[in-house]
Structure 1
């Protein structure tokens, strides 16, 4: 008899990950960022619609981990062919990023994972985030940093696939019970 444990979570960022910057001028005000989170954003043409089926095929539970919050379901999910995804409860977006500090999402993602394995795909992951996750999360985690200018690539998907297929690290795979 087999028993399937909880699947890993895959936390998805939008800006710089699914929506690459490709040299675009980034907003400098909260209103500017809010305006970007709309179907009228011309940068939406940079979304690779092929990512949707690839993400859905992964043996993970997809969740938004983005400042877009629910707007990701309204603006980003449709062109990718994604259903409405759960939105991770994140703290307010900081007004200013400081180098060499913990990402504003890290604590919330570890909390949301609640001891389950997870993948985090984002363009702003640092060594500090890796250290925090390795010391405060008892399960396996893959923090995959994406190049913000080009977004999610085949190489990123290959790293994710390899991590998911590693049987030694992933007890959620089908297991035998005696």
Structure 2
């Protein structure tokens, strides 16, 4: 894949393994020649993965709304930094720029971005792969919930199968 959108936290979490996995993911993206498309911040796992890609000579495209640029401290080292007006524009541009999506550990924003691209895939708006980087079983409970949703006939099995883990 030429470009991968990575959704992850603007904080680093409370385990060093989250940071280590973000560094490893960034190095691997650069090694493969894949462009990182991400939320544009220089803090937390977002900053860690961007720094790792850049340290290996890779390409990084950040997309951040203007009202978050100061709050999240927009990453000044990005190959390209797009400052957009709204969160929706951020998600739409990231999706347009990416050939696939990966969610790493994060909070509400990460989950919201993940579920939006899953919904868009379910609706046939894209056919791009969506994966979870399940560091230390971070997404085990979410995967169990998705399985429960499928078992209760609120989520079709073919839609559940869009999630790679």
- TM value normalised by structure 1: 0.40
Structure number with greater CO (CA < 8 Å, separation at least 6) is: 1
Normalized per residue, the structure richer in strand is 2
Q: Which protein is richer in helix relative to its size?
A: 2
What TM-score comes out, normalization by structure 2 length?
0.42
